[in-house]
């Protein structure tokens, strides 16, 4: 009788999926157009500005006012879609592709109780999550818990995708930093809207994979306690692109040639080291500890071919009081099979927050 180690099977599944998706000619690699030139330098400067010396000086963000249309409405809930101009400042706006200037959001909300007795969680996109549907399916069963779901379409994704970009394969390294920086600004503005305009009693932010990295950053920078729920997420993009399966999906030769055109000669190993240095800007352990680390719950997979265990544990170590929950599986299988665990983490994270006091 042959016994199969399930953990190994899940890990192999991630690599088989990654090989089919990233090592065949079915789709182009990440960063086929190089580093991004002056845009990359601009983004490196702007990300460093996320860490103000005086706490709170980068709050409040620009208040957005989405224009809403109702998609459907029932006796108990409604789904609306909204559009708003990205709140990014002029420098960032000029760096973004024109297609990404208008942000789109879906808002699934229960109708049974007033907003101050409801919670709302902003769901951020994982790599390749171009539409609202998957995240709305994750949030829909939470309606009965009086938890609303707000889904943000990322820059460079869905209708915001640049014309020359195929799928999720960003053309330049600077695009990855730009996507992250703009997502953080937009999510912060949406949380501000949920708090000050819509009047929700509790709020949270979650995301899967890349979306979890962004959720951790948003939760870290928020001036008041919110639930922060990164799912299947590394502590840094370095892990995804330099250690996990996605290292096989990166156009290392094109990145080396781009440097050669700038009269910089590097070996492939030196190119990988430069990538590590650039992406170290996305290291969440460098971000401030969230206001209520007890309301931070990481859900990680035991046999993840994309995210090694050490990466998750580095985040927990950097944020004392946070919790890590392990699910059996790999990156792909957990993404498909463990939505119940993700929902449980959302409910538990929100339960660890105090209700906002209603204004008199």
pLDDT digits (tens, 9 = 90+) for 223-252: 889 999 999 999 999 998 998 778 889 999
Mean pLDDT of the chain: 88
Give the model's confidence band at 358: pLDDT under 50 very low, under 70 low, under 90 confident, else very high: low
pLDDT for 41 equals: 87
At residue 7, does pLDDT exceed 60? no
CATH of domain 6-52+59-352: 3.40.50.1820
How much is the pTM?
0.90
At residue 52, does pLDDT exceed 80? no
Answer whether 8's CB lies under 8 Å from 16's CB: no
Give the model's confidence band at 40: pLDDT under 50 very low, under 70 low, under 90 confident, else very high: confident
Q: What average pLDDT does range 174-185 have in this prediction?
A: 93
Q: What average pLDDT does range 269-281 have in this prediction?
A: 93
Question: Domain boundaries in the chain?
Answer: 6-52+59-352
pLDDT for 37 equals: 87
pLDDT for 5 equals: 52
Secondary structure string (H, E, C) spanning the chain: CCCCCHHHHHHHHHHHHHHHHHHCCCCCCECCCCCCCHHHHHHHHHHHCCCCCCCCCCCCCCCCCCEEEEEEECCCEEEEEEEEECCCCHHHHHHCCHHHCEEEEEEEEECCCCHHHCEEEEEECCCCCCCCHHHHHHHHHHHHHCEEEEEECCCCCHHHCCCCCCCCCCCCHHHHHHHHHHHHHHHHHHHHHHHHCCCCCEEEEEEECHHHHHHHHHHHHCCCCCEEEEECCCCCHHHHHHCCHHHHHECHHHHHHHHHHCCCCCCHHHHHHHHHHHHHHHCHHHCCCCCCHHHEEEEEECCCCCCCHHHHHHHHHHCCCCEEEEECCCHHHHHHHCHHHHHHHHHHHHHCCCCCCCCC
pLDDT for 46 equals: 77
Q: What average pLDDT does range 293-321 have in this prediction?
A: 92
At residue 344, does pLDDT exceed 70? yes
Q: What average pLDDT does range 105-120 have in this prediction?
A: 95
pLDDT for 17 equals: 42
Q: What average pLDDT does range 74-85 have in this prediction?
A: 96
pLDDT for 3 equals: 38
User: CA–CA separation, 38 vs 20, rounded Å?
Assistant: 34
pLDDT for 56 equals: 56
User: CA–CA separation, 186 vs 89, rounded Å?
Assistant: 11
Q: What average pLDDT does range 197-212 have in this prediction?
A: 96
At residue 168, does pLDDT exceed 90? no
């Amino acid at each position: 009788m042959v016994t199969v180690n399930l953990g190994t099977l899940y890990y192999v599944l991630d690599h088989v999926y990654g090989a089919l998706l990233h090592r065949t000619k079915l789709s182009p690699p990440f960063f086929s157009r190089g580093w991004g030139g002056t845009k990359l330098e601009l983004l490196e400067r702007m990300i460093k500005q996320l860490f103000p010396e005086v706490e709170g000086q980068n709050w409040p963000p620009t208040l957005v006012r989405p224009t809403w249309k109702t998609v459907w409405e029932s006796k108990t809930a409604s789904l609306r879609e909204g559009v708003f101009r990205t709140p990014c400042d002029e420098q960032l706006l000029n760096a973004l592709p024109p297609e990404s200037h208008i942000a789109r959001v879906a808002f699934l909300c229960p109708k049974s109780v007033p907003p101050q007795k409801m919670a709302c969680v902003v769901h951020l996109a994982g790599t390749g999550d171009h539409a609202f549907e998957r995240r709305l399916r994750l949030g829909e069963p939470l309606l009965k818990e009086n938890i609303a779901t707000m889904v943000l379409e990322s820059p460079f994704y869905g209708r915001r995708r640049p014309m020359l970009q195929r799928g999720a394969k960003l053309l330049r390294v600077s695009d990855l930093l730009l996507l992250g920086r703009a997502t953080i600004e937009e999510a912060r503005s949406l949380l501000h809207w949920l708090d000050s305009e819509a009047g929700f009693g509790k709020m949270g932010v979650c995301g899967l994979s890349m979306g979890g990295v962004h959720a951790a950053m948003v939760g870290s920078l928020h001036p008041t306690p919110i639930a922060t729920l990164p799912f299947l997420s590394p502590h840094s993009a370095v892990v995804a692109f330099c250690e996990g399966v996605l290292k096989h999906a990166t156009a290392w030769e094109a990145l080396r040639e781009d440097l050669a055109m700038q009269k910089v000669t590097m070996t492939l190993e030196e190119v990988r080291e430069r990538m590590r240095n650039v992406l170290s800007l996305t290291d969440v352990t460098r971000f401030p500890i969230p206001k209520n680390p007890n309301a931070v719950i990481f859900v990680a997979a035991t046999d993840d071919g994309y995210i090694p265990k050490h990466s998750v544990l580095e985040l927990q170590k950097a944020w004392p009081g946070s919790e890590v929950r392990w699910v059996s599986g790999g990156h792909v299988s957990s993404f498909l099979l463990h939505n119940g665990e993700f929902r449980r983490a959302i409910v538990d994270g929100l339960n660890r927050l105090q209700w906002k006091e209603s204004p008199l």
